[in-house]
Structure 1
Amino acid sequence: MDNNEYVGHCFCGTIELRVTGSPVAMGYCHCESCRAWSASPVNAFTLWSPQAVRLTQGSDQLASYNKTDRSTRKWCKVCGGHVLTEHPGLGLTDVYAAVIPRFPFKPEVHVNYGETVLHMHDGLSKLMDMPKEMGGSGRMMAD
């Protein structure tokens, strides 16, 4: 395994993936969709180029759902464990931070903080919605 390669897996281990290199961004999403999908008040994300994410086991057990055309959420058919979300319009794949346990998660930003239900006073930048380059307003909020 390369020093910049990390192994991830679903809850039961049926699906395994590897991420290589460095993510494009890391942080927390506070939107209602991510909260509902993750069954938590906030979702920790790592965004990668699709070429940096490789399924190495159990791809036949991966199911998917599109709430909108902006994302394809994927999970394990065996255990229901969430694995990743593809964002084709952005050219990015979100591998949930918890799926890659040995990866050194260093969050840089909060997105969709205008929808938060859990205020986090951690000194990180807080965006009302998304960065301008991702179709949002880019408007910052107070910590």
Structure 2
Amino acid sequence: MSDDSKMTGHCLCGAVKITVTGEHKDAGVCHCGMCRRWSGGPAMALDVGQDIEIEGRENVTAYRSSDWAERGFCKTCGSNLYYRIVEADSYVIYAGILDGQDSLTLKSQIFIDEKPAFYDFANQTQNMTGAEVFALYAPPADPN
């Protein structure tokens, strides 16, 4: 595997190290209220699926933020590490923890209808409302 298809990163204190394999260079932004409250601003992240290795898992704490997902952070320094779809064991990692961020491209914004008026990104991106995101990705409702 070439170095171009591998990214590394770590939390602020270095207790948790992340390695991502594969071609994951497309970053997205989430403007939902939960992400903004958790990260202090819009959440910039990459969907890496299961192409992730986490070293120092004993230093990771997860908060179950919905019926289907959890948010992981370093229990030592508090750095936000990931959003994980539990059932699929699929990870979205926060771009700020990665080394070599210049190789990333901002491609999409979700929950654009919840974005506060005080900021805008100049990039031309695919934009989705919260309803569009849930229609595409939310688990089907239990018919019982």
TM-score, normalised to structure 2, is 0.82
Deviation for aligned residue 1:125: 1.9
Structure 2 segments unaligned to the other structure (5+ residues) = 139-144
Deviation for aligned residue 1:67: 1.9
Residues 29 and 111 in structure 1, CA contact (< 8 A), matched pair in contact too: yes
1:99 aligns with 2:58: no
**Structure 1, residues 47-88: CA drift from partner, whole Å, max 9, x if none?**
0122x10012x2111111012122111111111111111113
RMSD: 2.2
Equivalent residue, structure 2, for 1:66: 64
Equivalent residue, structure 1, for 2:13: 12
Q: Percent identity?
A: 21
Which of the numbers 78, 82, 85 marks the counterpart of 1:84? 82
**Mapping of 1:1-143 within 5 angstroms?**
2-3=2-3, 4-23=5-24, 26-40=27-41, 42-50=42-50, 52-56=51-55, 58-89=56-87, 92-103=90-101, 104-117=103-116, 118-129=119-130, 130=133, 132-135=135-138
Q: Which one is further off, 125-134 or 70-79?
A: 125-134
Structure 1 segments unaligned to the other structure (5+ residues) = 136-143
